[in-house]
Amino acid sequence: MSPLTALTYVLPHRALSSLARRLAYSANPAISRRLIDTVVAKFGVDLSEATESNPRAYPTFNAFFTRALRDGARIPDPDPRALLMPADGRISQCGQIEDGRIFQAKGRSFTTTELLGDETAAEPFANGLFATVYLSPRDYHRVHMPWTGTLRETVHVPGRLFSVGTDAVAAVPGLFARNERVACHFDTDFGPMCVVMVGALLVSGVETVWGGIEIPPYGGPITTKDYRGRGIVVERFAEMARFNYGSTAIVLLPKGVAELAPQLGAESPVKLGQRLATIL
Residues with active-site annotation? 88, 144, 247
AA letter at 280: L
Distance of CA 162 to the CA centre of its chain: 14
Strands 206-208 and 269-270 turn out to be unpaired
Q: Please answer whether residues 14 and 219 qualify as being in contact, where contact means their C-beta atoms are separated by less than 8 angstroms.
A: yes
d(CA 104, CA 248): 12
d(CA 107, CA 271): 27
Residue 166: how many other CB atoms lie within 10 Å: 15
Closest residue by Cα to residue 266 from 139, 141, 144, 134? 134
Residue 171 phi/psi, 5-degree rounding, is: -105, -30
Collapsing DSSP states into helix, strand and coil, what is residue 273? coil
d(CA 280, CA 277): 9
Q: Please answer whether residues 155 and 221 qualify as being in contact, where contact means their C-beta atoms are separated by less than 8 angstroms.
A: no
